[in-house]
Amino acid sequence: MVLFNTCCIRENADQKLYGNLGHMKALKDVRPDLRIVVGGCLAQKDKSIIQQRAPYVDVVLGTHNLASLPRLLREAETGPAFEILEQTEVFPSALPARRKSGWHAWVSISIGCNNSCTFCIVPSVRGVEVSRRTGDIVSEVQELVADGVVEITLLGQNVNSYGRDLDGTPLFAKLLRALDRVDRLQRVRFTSPHPKDFRMDTVEAMAECRTVCEHIHLPVQAGSDRVLKRMKRAYTRKRYLDKVQMVRDALPEVAISTDIIVGFPGETEADFQETLTLVEEVQYDSAYTFQYSPRPMTEAATYGGQVPKEIVQERYERLTSLQDAISFRRNQRHLDAIEEVIVEGPSKKDPARLSGRTRTNKLVHFDSGPAPEGSFRTVRISKVHPHFLEDSGRAFLRAGAQAPVLAARRRTSGEATCSSCN
């Protein structure tokens, strides 16, 4: 069986799927017992188009019915099986998972999204926001930890509104605190908080919870109020900057990353300049930068003023070179610092070295003897680059639960907390 789990957030994923299905046709001709399955957002968006364009696909299922896959495969014994539902009825948390990593796990806390950003196809293909019960999340994390997981990343389109559909009030900060009590869990990350819903209670939980890493991904999308309004992001540049200040006041060493779209319809050079000045002002550690692509079922796709491709490309290059310079500057703050990393495996740049990630989500390549994935090492940063750090001495095994330098940097309301005493 070959299963394509698809994404349709940007245009190029669409094109990839149909190209890949073309290759599968040749394989299916010589192996009629091969089962081809297409699932995920693109299947949800394209519905019957997949079977029209690739009639040899055996199963098409959408984003709301992953659990139906075994049944659909059985049905496919007698002919193509197709099932797309419009809403998730049961949170798919009970599904057994096979995880690639023994030490890290992605944990879904909510699915869907209740916002209506005009560029975004997610609400159409993922439906309304549904939160998973806190008890279920905590139990899953406990089981993961019992299996050797030390780091989790909580997933949701707008993690800060987690729980609103359960209790009428957001419960994300409470969830972070509940997970912080899970014995032997070392690191908690989350993605993404929406800036409009990112509040002090979450910042306090980030600062006070031993496990929550000093990194926040806070997607801004654009620096101009005019563009933000046309995107329906529900915050202004000033409100966004206030949120950045709020998190830096509580966690001075926090690393901040973001998502930015270049070439949103109607974006003028003056608007784009405001994105550049915002990037300068915030000094992001890193940014995911995207060229706007019109998506079906979105409001922005109907807007006038689509920006010509060559202008988008040119703005994109100016933005990425500015961000690279800032990332390099931000990374220089780590020179000579002693940092704790979790070993991710051999370095992709040089397999004789290892790679690991700091709590601030910085990738570090370092010299070391063999070390199992998921183990902790303490490194001293001797060289920095825009996208990674290096330690060319030999990393040593950590002594405590957390590197002392980082522990001392945590601060809540002016009070230093030391994780080894928590």
Contact residues for ligand SAH (CB under 6 A)?
9-10, 119-120, 157-158, 192, 194, 219, 221, 259, 261, 290, 292-293, 295
Q: Which of residues 145-174 bind ligand SF4 (CB under 6 A)?
A: 157-158
- Residues 381-390 as b/e (b if ≥16 CB within 10 A, e otherwise) read beebeeebbb
Point out which span in 118-126, 246-254, 278-286, 369-377 binds ligand SF4 (CB under 6 A). 118-126
Sign of the alpha-carbon dihedral angle for 113, 118, 120, 126: positive
CA distance 135 to 147: 18
Give strand pairing partners of 189. 153
From the list ligand SF4, ligand SAH, none, partner contacted by residue 123 (C-beta under 5 to 8 A by kind): ligand SF4
- Cα angle for residues 389, 107, 261 (degrees, 5° grid): 60
DSSP assignment, residue 352?
Answer: T
Which of 118, 115, 144, 147 has its CA nearest to residue 129?
A: 115
Nearer to ligand SF4 among residue 125 and residue 384 (C-beta): 125
Question: What DSSP letter does each residue of 236-270 carry, written as one string?
Answer: -HHHHHHHHHHHHHH-TT-EEEEEEEES-TT--HH
| Least distance to ligand SF4, CB of residue 113, Å | 3
Phi then psi for residue 97, to 5 deg, are -120, 140
Nearer to ligand SF4 among residue 117 and residue 212 (C-beta): 117
Point out which span in 10-18, 110-118, 130-138, 163-171 binds ligand SF4 (CB under 6 A). 110-118
| Least distance to ligand SAH, CB of residue 311, Å | 15
Q: Where are the beta strands (DSSP E) in 67-226?
A: 81-83, 104-108, 110-111, 130-131, 151-155, 187-191, 215-217
CA distance 396 to 343: 12
Nearer to ligand SAH among residue 64 and residue 194 (C-beta): 194
Q: Does 283 bind ligand SF4 (CB under 6 A)?
A: no
CA distance 242 to 260: 18
From the list ligand SAH, ligand SF4, none, partner contacted by residue 320 (C-beta under 5 to 8 A by kind): none
Nearer to ligand SAH among residue 66 and residue 301 (C-beta): 301
Give strand pairing partners of 286. 257
Task: Say how many Å lie between the first and final Cα of the chain, rounded.
Answer: 48
Nearer to ligand SAH among residue 120 and residue 326 (C-beta): 120
Q: Does 260 bind ligand SF4 (CB under 6 A)?
A: no
CA distances from 34 to 54, 73, 75, 197, 284 (A): 14, 11, 15, 46, 47
From the list ligand SF4, ligand SAH, none, partner contacted by residue 417 (C-beta under 5 to 8 A by kind): none
Q: Does 120 bind ligand SF4 (CB under 6 A)?
A: yes
Nearer to ligand SF4 among residue 122 and residue 205 (C-beta): 122
From the list ligand SAH, ligand SF4, none, partner contacted by residue 106 (C-beta under 5 to 8 A by kind): none
Q: Which of residues 174-233 bind ligand SF4 (CB under 6 A)?
A: 194
Nearer to ligand SAH among residue 170 and residue 219 (C-beta): 219
Point out which span in 32-40, 116-124, 332-340, 384-392 binds ligand SF4 (CB under 6 A). 116-124
Would you tell me which residues interact with ligand SF4 (CB under 6 A)? 113, 115, 117, 120, 122-123, 157-158, 194
